[in-house]
Structure 1
Amino acid sequence: MHNARPGFVRACLNGTSQVFFMENAWTGVLFFIAIGYSSYGTGAWATTIGALIGVVVATLTAIALIDDGDSISAGLYGFNGILVGAALPTLIEPSSLLWFYIAFGAAASTVVTAALSATLTKSWGIPGSTGPFVLLGWLMVAGAYSFGGLQVSSLGPVLATDYLQGASIIPSITELIEIFFRNIAQVFLLGSAVSGAIILLGIFIASVRAGIAACLGSIIAIVAAIVLRADPASVSQGLYGFSAVLTAMAVGAVFLAPGWRVAAYAGLATILTVVIQGALDAIMLPDGLPSFTMPYVAVLYLFMAPKKLMSPHGHVGTSSDHLLSD
């Protein structure tokens, strides 16, 4: 029992860091600091509390139900739980029932994660990633509209903007820097540029290559959104960048071998993520549902599927089966 507690805490911190594909407890600590900083700035601690409940319950559920100690220790059953825990208080008014709702969603995320691992990953080598969070996030926010004990915050449709009307407003350098960091922070549904900087530091501590990919993903997203004249308010808040950051990291630094071909592949995937972000926002927001990380998930699934066809040097029985190389 003496060793169980530190092991559990480390598994929770690894689960927190796995939101950005890292397995590093110190990175997880910095991520929680970033979440806490954002809550301190707004005076609303529900997101931090929800995130803590989410990762703890998801990890406990995995320990109780899943016979896969290595994956649990690596945090692979915790990251969808923490995202559920961070998202629901952002979209649903805090109440005693909300905490139960978060705990249930976090526990369910472990089962959905295991289901995708047993199907999508084992059959096609495609990581489930944040797919469980997206599915449960949609269902639980939509369900909250039907439950009197839960009050959904106002979510409105995308309306015509200055960009759509033809204006060519370019943010200032200071604004661009803030957007750069908000793109990263919004993965945890945080609007703080400082939180984004703390998260980026955590990524670099775990992997310099992943940190560079995150930076490039944020920059590409900013350029693509401005060129396409996306809603300036949404761009400023980082809402066109967070899925793109995840895509750039996943395709460019995590799941495929590095090289010029992978860099081009990741660039294409990142731009497509921005396009899908705009499409899903237009489709879903009028119905009161956010897109969450679905743009990233859709692109990841599509771009991981043909990876073997694009790799001329795959070796059966080794990890390079799952790598795209030059």
Structure 2
Amino acid sequence: MGAATARRRQATAMGPGAWLVGVVHGMSQVFFQTNILTGLLILAAFVSQDWRMAALVVLGASASSVAGQLLSTSGTDIRSGAQGFCGALIGASTYAALGGQWAGYPLAVVGGLLCAPVTWAVVWFFNTKALKRFALPSTTAPFCIVATLIFFATTGLHVQAPLTVVETNTEAFLESLLTNISQVVLVDDVWGGALILLGLFIAHWKVGLAALLGSVAGSVAALVLNDSLQETANGLSGYSGVLTAIAFATVFMKGRWEPWVFAIIGSAVTAVVTLIMHTLPGPTYTWPYILTTWAGLVLIQLAPRLYRR
């Protein structure tokens, strides 16, 4: 064994405790956080939906982390959850499509394993000469790619969960404030959203505030655009705006007030993109957030007096 190979194996070697921490961090990393308590509260949100959903999430995150180790991803990245969050979302999306059917378990594992090489491919693409200067993150794009493949490969097994029925804009808006947050991880539950929001405020007050602002902006935009009250109330119109707001306000952008303005505008734009994508076949997943954030990061790079972190 060469010295370089030995060092790589040592860097990625992890005990059971480190693996468990990495899996929990993978849940918090969906919201850009490395916080064990935040991750545990998100896990509790999955349990509030269905313990089988939580099991699929853990399987997906574990499989993605294993695949990352096989591709010589650093142990630091695995422990921080940076390798596991797309796999966690694969587990959640598998439950959303198939419910608790037995077929979901091997699919969560296979999907989680696929996330690592797909992430590598997306990162490679963004490091090509034409795109490298924009420093675009792969973010949840690997999850969206793999989850879409699984979705169309399993059409005969799909289940359809009923949507909450509401009668007024006020009802839809109030319910969406928390379901927008829970639907980021495909949980359709107000209490799940409350648990996640608590976890985000524990991570940092700015993260919790950004999530709330993104939720409000997304819901207002959805109602102004006359999106379905049921979809708005169940968080299907505004969840991507939550991620967009957190991304601009706390992760990717420097400034005093500029990140917050970008967060609010970006969340509204994300709602428009979501509405457009709802007309396309197949699930939307987090594509509206991804596309809006990529476009915003390119704009920040090109515009004067706007700065990246």
**8 Å contact from structure 1 (residues 252, 258) kept in 2:** no
What corresponds to 2:110 in structure 1?
104
**8 Å contact from structure 1 (residues 121, 127) kept in 2:** no
Q: Tell me which of 277, 282, 286 is aligned to 2:279.
A: 282
Structure 2: distance between partners of 1:304 and 1:115: 20
- 1:116 to partner: Cα distance: 1.9
**8 Å contact from structure 2 (residues 115, 146) kept in 1:** yes
Structure 2: distance between partners of 1:217 and 1:102: 29
Structure 1: distance between partners of 2:235 and 2:248: 20
Q: Tell me which of 20, 26, 42 is aligned to 1:31.
A: 42
Structure 1: distance between partners of 2:268 and 2:87: 28
Q: Which amino acid aligns with 2:296?
A: F
What corresponds to 1:131 in structure 2?
141
> Match of 1:308, SS?
helix
Matched, 1:198 2:208: no
Matched, 1:268 2:240: no
Structure 2: distance between partners of 1:153 and 1:51: 18
> Match of 2:237, SS?
coil
Matched, 1:115 2:125: no
- 1:85 to partner: Cα distance: 0.4
> Match of 1:259, SS?
coil
- 1:313 to partner: Cα distance: 7.9
Shift in alpha-carbon separation, 1:13–1:154, aligned structure 2, 3 A: closer
**8 Å contact from structure 1 (residues 61, 110) kept in 2:** yes
- 1:117 to partner: Cα distance: 2.4
What corresponds to 1:91 in structure 2?
97
Matched, 1:186 2:197: no
Matched, 1:171 2:170: yes
> Match of 1:22, SS?
coil
What corresponds to 2:3 in structure 1?
none
Structure 1: distance between partners of 2:144 and 2:14: 34
Shift in alpha-carbon separation, 1:305–1:97, aligned structure 2, 3 A: same
Return 305-314 or 182-191, whichever deviates more: 305-314
**8 Å contact from structure 1 (residues 12, 56) kept in 2:** yes
> Match of 1:290, SS?
coil
Structure 2: distance between partners of 1:138 and 1:176: 29
Q: Which amino acid aligns with 1:292?
A: Y
Q: Which amino acid aligns with 2:240?
A: S
Structure 2: distance between partners of 1:310 and 1:5: 46
- 1:268 to partner: Cα distance: 1.9
**8 Å contact from structure 1 (residues 240, 277) kept in 2:** yes
Q: Which amino acid aligns with 1:144?
A: T
Matches within 5 A, 1:195-274: 195-274=192-271
> Match of 1:238, SS?
coil
What corresponds to 1:42 in structure 2?
none
CA-to-aligned-CA distance 1:198-257 (integer Å, 9 cap, x gap): 001111111211111101000111111111111011011111111010011111221111
What corresponds to 2:4 in structure 1?
none
**8 Å contact from structure 2 (residues 169, 229) kept in 1:** no
**8 Å contact from structure 1 (residues 120, 126) kept in 2:** yes
Q: Tell me which of 272, 296, 300 is aligned to 2:293.
A: 300
Shift in alpha-carbon separation, 1:3–1:132, aligned structure 2, 3 A: closer
CA-to-aligned-CA distance 1:4-32 (integer Å, 9 cap, x gap): 12211111111110001101111111110
Gaps of 5+ in 2: 1-9
Matched, 1:64 2:64: no
CA-to-aligned-CA distance 1:262-309 (integer Å, 9 cap, x gap): 22222221111001111111122xxxx210111111111111123222
Q: Which amino acid aligns with 1:295?
A: P
Q: Which amino acid aligns with 2:136?
A: I
Structure 1: distance between partners of 2:138 and 2:248: 14
Structure 1: distance between partners of 2:217 and 2:102: 41
**8 Å contact from structure 1 (residues 50, 89) kept in 2:** yes
What corresponds to 2:7 in structure 1?
none
Q: Which amino acid aligns with 1:299?
A: T
- 1:66 to partner: Cα distance: 2.5
> Match of 2:22, SS?
helix
**8 Å contact from structure 2 (residues 244, 293) kept in 1:** yes
Shift in alpha-carbon separation, 1:227–1:94, aligned structure 2, 3 A: same
Q: Which amino acid aligns with 2:107?
A: Y
Structure 2: distance between partners of 1:93 and 1:128: 28
Shift in alpha-carbon separation, 1:191–1:206, aligned structure 2, 3 A: same
Q: Aligned residues: percent identity?
A: 27
What root-mean-square deviation, in Å, do the aligned CA atoms of Structure 1 and Structure 2 show? Answer: 2.5
Structure 1 stretches of at least 4 aligned residues deviating more than 6 Å after TM superposition: none
**8 Å contact from structure 2 (residues 210, 263) kept in 1:** no
**8 Å contact from structure 1 (residues 184, 200) kept in 2:** yes
Structure 2: distance between partners of 1:69 and 1:277: 36
> Match of 2:301, SS?
coil
